[in-house]
Amino acid sequence: MGFATDCIHAGQEPEPHTGAVTIPIYQTSTYVQPELGRHKGYEYARTKNPTRSALEANLAALERGRHGHCFASGMSAIDVVFRTLQAGDHVVAGEDMYGGSFRLFHRVLEKFGLTFTYVDTSNIDSVSAAIKPETKVLYLETPTNPMMRISDIAACADVAHRAGAMVVVDNTFCSPYIQRPIELGADVVVHSTTKFLNGHSDSVGGVVVSNSDEFAEKVGFLQNAVGAILSPFDSWLVLRGTKTLAVRMKRHEENGVAMARYLASNRKVKKVNYPGLPDHPQHALAKRQMNGFGSMISFELGTRENAKAFLDRVKLCSLAESLGGVETLISHPESMTHGSVPPENRKRLGITPGLVRISVGIEDIEDLIGDLENAFEGM
Ligand SMILES: *Cc1c(COP(=O)(O)O)cnc(C)c1O
């Protein structure tokens, strides 16, 4: 089936008792067993819940993987991937990534004996050079957050697989509409479903999608053993979100391209980071690897004063952390999403005091550009 059809139907059989078209919210903690030793596949709701199972099947299908497991947040999904490793294992990760993932690796997982090397994963030679005999995972974000650099997933998978490591891609910035890492050779995809997948800024959640039965079994075991599960209500919200994923993403993409062009033409903007612009260093790779370029853009206003004057004047765009909602969200990475990244790393990556990030929503583009025009006037 096509992607839009899968968004609406994959994993979502009508409910068998009543024929309800929409998967109900199974708000139950346990399930009655007809006799000792016999049950209907559900025993206790941490282990399994039908609303969550429907979402897990749906998200696995959209990412073209065989297995999905949903968690209470994107961070808990990422955490579980690393709990499949052991003390002494090594991870190669992107140097420019979601600040919360860096915090998890550096402040939590290192204490349990995992080691990390951070490299520019858009440079395949740096990736090769960082891999050691004990490397078990190559962890990628592409595009990166917030600098929008692109890594070649197929080439990275080649290098990692030759060394016996698996490739995990955080696909939150794209959603499977824009990019499907498993089709490009990745082993595992993680998402913060909080962002584009749910899409309405009203739920926090995460998912791990994989193709290997063996890896999925470990994730399923950890989902139950650790217990950071997605609630039935949140599972239902994300399912409601994915039904419109294809139409939302199409519009996000159109607005993203138009906004990037507008910003690139504005003399107060020093630089625009967006893979859809022809002057982006990996524009050709992005064109090949992605279906469109998404709606995440960062741009440089030169100084913190400029960024503050601009951000204080936007009205329609909401100054907020997060991304991927139907409404346009705008933020200041240095002080907001990337506050937990050490200052010297921020400097090296280009996360300057004048950098602004925008997650372009699906409003009328004329209204969004009008709002920015007005904000630029006060700068
Ligand atoms: C938001 C985000 C996360 C963390 O997800 P939560 O749902 O907030 O826990 C991880 N990776 C990326 C790229 C994100 O944007």
What is the tens place of the pLDDT at every residue in 19-37? 999 999 999 999 999 999 9
pLDDT at 340: 79
Residue 305 dihedral angles phi and psi, to the nearest 5°: -60, -45
CATH number for the domain harbouring residue 165: 3.40.640.10
Co-location of 237 and 259 in the same domain: no
Contact of 336 with 356, CB cutoff 8 Å:
no
When divided into structural domains, the chain yields a total of 2
User: For tokens 């279906």, what's the residue?
Assistant: 291
Question: 177 and 191 in contact (C-beta within 8 Å)?
Answer: no
End-to-end CA distance of the chain: 49
Ligand 1 nearest-atom number relative to CA 172: 13
Domain end position, chosen among 210, 243, 276: 243
In terms of domains, do 172 and 278 share one? no
- Do 53 and 43 fall into the same domain? yes
Q: Specify whether 237 is located in the same domain as 279.
A: no
Q: How do strand 329-331 and strand 296-300 relate by DSSP bridges?
A: unpaired
Number of H helices, E strands in the chain: 14, 12
Q: Which helix (H) or strand (E) holds 7?
A: helix 3-9
The alpha carbon of 75 and the centre of ligand 1 are apart by a number of angstroms equal to 6
Answer whether 259's CB lies under 8 Å from 240's CB. Answer: no
Q: Residue 285: count other Cβ atoms within 10 Å of its Cβ.
A: 19
The span from the CA of 38 to the CA of 52, in Å, is: 22
Q: Of 215, 243, 271, which residue is a domain's last?
A: 243
Radius of gyration of the chain, Cα coordinates, nearest whole angstrom = 21
Which residues are known to be catalytic? 46, 98, 170, 195
Q: What CA–CA distance (Å, rounded) separates 229 from 368?
A: 37
Q: Each residue of 199-215: pLDDT tens digit?
A: 999 999 999 999 999 99
pTM over 0.85: yes
The rounded mean pLDDT for the chain is: 96
Please tell me whether residues 97 and 129 are part of one structural domain: yes
Q: Which residues pair with 108 in a beta bridge?
A: none
C-alpha closest to that of 148 among 280, 322, 55: 280
Mutual angle of helices 245-264 and 232-243, in 10-degree steps: 70
Q: Say whether both 346 and 361 belong to one domain.
A: yes
Check residue 236 and give its pLDDT: 98
Contacts of 237 (CB under 8 A, 6+ apart): 198, 200, 202, 203
Asked if 235 and 254 sit in the same domain, the reply is no
The reply to whether 234 and 255 lie within a common domain is no
CA of 76 to the centre of ligand 1 (A): 10
Q: Whose CA is nearest to atom 8 of ligand 1?
A: 74
Residue 116: which pLDDT band, with cuts at 50, 70 and 90? very high
Q: Which residue has the higher pLDDT, 281 or 379?
A: 281
pLDDT digit string, tens, across residues 229-268: 999 999 999 999 999 999 999 999 999 999 999 999 999 9
Residue 345: domain span = 245-376
**Distance between CA atoms of 98 and 95, rounded to whole angstroms?**
10
294 in ligand 1 pocket by Cβ < 6 Å? no
Residue 378 has pLDDT above 80, yes or no: no
Report the alpha-carbon distance of residue 320 to residue 340 in Å, rounded. 16
Task: Compute the distance from residue 331 Cα to the ligand 1 centre, in Å.
Answer: 15
* Tokens 């969200």 found at: 329
Whether residue 83 is found in the same domain as residue 232:
yes
The residues facing 71 across adjacent strands are: 206, 229
**Residue 353 CB less than 6 A away from ligand 1:** no
Residue with tokens 């790393």: 345
Examine the domain organization and report whether 43 and 175 are in the same domain. Answer: yes
Tell me the C-alpha distance between 267 and 275, whole Å: 20
Pocket test for ligand 1, best of 70, 79, 98 (most atoms within 8 A of CB): 98
Q: Which of 214, 243, 272 is the last residue of a domain?
A: 243
- pLDDT computed for residue 379 by the predictor: 81
252 in the same domain as 227: no
Task: Using the predicted structure, report yes or no on whether residue 271 has a pLDDT greater than 90.
Answer: yes
Beta bridge partner(s), residue 92 = 117, 138
Scanning 265-290, the segments in alpha helix (DSSP H) are 283-289
Beta carbons of 45 and 28 less than 8 angstroms apart: yes
**Cis before 275? omega within 30:** no
Res 132 pLDDT > 90: yes
Can you give the pLDDT at residue 367? 98
Tell me, yes or no, whether 234 and 103 share the same domain: yes
Q: Residue 274 maps to which CATH number?
A: 3.90.1150.10
DSSP 102: H
Q: Whose alpha carbon is nearest atom 7 of ligand 1? A: 74
